[in-house]
Structure 1
């Protein structure tokens, strides 16, 4: 009897172990928010592959509002410039160093970002709101990706290659709908420069059909 009970206890213990194996505890390291860059040594990846990976991380960070992660990709010396449309105006577009970006992000300081195409209305908002309402105005996680190529193009002058020669850029393109004849497309571009063996963002450019 004792022997049978011992065998039964052993089988019960093994059964519990198997059940536990099927439902392991979720490792917090896999889901916790991290503000660290996930760089890979450049010699391990081609520039195109490395920037595709970085582009996707930036898109994900912007989508969920993890701007501290985005901040880690801002160029340490040149900072980052935000352009509302394809035409880059270094005299008027807002520019932030990494320090200033982190300083103003949580504040209610209102900046003038430019003027809306068509209406000419001056666009003013906080940095946080600009990132949410303008930079990520569409869900670019569902966009079409391209490297050093433009998919979107409207009447607005695109001077990216003139303003940032010898650099690489990525484009996240969302095609327009049939309802509007494809004219409601949107694009989000990141311009990268290398610094100490790592790629950093020097410009964030939105683009869409302009009048």
Structure 2
């Protein structure tokens, strides 16, 4: 009799197990990272957009203009070309008759002695001045002695076609890029306009200041 009860109990337990719902351990689902084959290439990456060449040089020029105006030569040398910086008093940089001088980094930061910057195309006289006087008289004042208002900025192009002396940057330095600051004429004759161009050349994948060119009305 006892054996019969035991047998019936076993049948009941088997029946209940077969009919019981699935437990949490019955099905295991694991979330694995997507591989490239499963669409991993669709992963969103939040990377900041890289600056364009134009944006980089415009930004550098803003800093250069301020450093030049306040005679902060150490700041200028930080982004200067290792060959030095060419100062051209007229637009025809690199030409045989250009009024220009090359200042090495040591000269830029050295004592402010008088320098021969070239010869004036109008009078033929020597342009002799200290760095501070040259910047003030020739780069931040017009030929009439008025303060320059550089209100127009252009990238790799000029706001003026020619003031008598041609802009030779693209011709003599085809791999260079420049940013121009332009001040329109303030007199009726229209000859008091002035432009200053920061010329950059690439060196070891970085754009560095190669020249500072002044452009004014000339014969």
Query: Normalising by structure 2, what TM-score?
Result: 0.68
Give the whole-Å Cα distance in 1 for the aligned partners of 2:95 and 2:132. 21
The equivalent of 1:88 in structure 2 is 93
2:89–2:117 Cα contact (<8 Å) kept: yes
Unaligned residue ranges in structure 2 (runs of 5+): 1-48
Q: How far is the alpha carbon of 1:141 from its aligned partner?
A: 6.6
Q: How does 1:6-155 map to 2 (within 5 A)?
A: 44-76=50-82, 78-89=83-94, 93-103=100-110, 106-108=111-113, 110-137=114-141, 142-152=150-160, 153-155=162-164
Query: Normalising by structure 1, what TM-score?
Result: 0.70
Greater shift, 168-177 or 116-125, is seen at 116-125
Which digits, 9 at most, give the CA deviation of each residue in 1:3-34, with x for residues without a partner?
Answer: xxxxxxxxxxxxxxxxxxxxxxxxxxxxxxxx
Q: How far is the alpha carbon of 1:46 from its aligned partner?
A: 0.2
Alignment RMSD: 2.1
The count of aligned residue pairs is 164
Q: How far is the alpha carbon of 1:188 from its aligned partner?
A: 0.2
Unaligned residue ranges in structure 1 (runs of 5+): 1-42
Q: How far is the alpha carbon of 1:190 from its aligned partner?
A: 0.8
Give the whole-Å Cα distance in 2 for the aligned partners of 1:156 and 1:66. 30
The equivalent of 1:28 in structure 2 is none
| CA gap 1:181/1:156 in 2 versus in 1, 3 angstroms | same
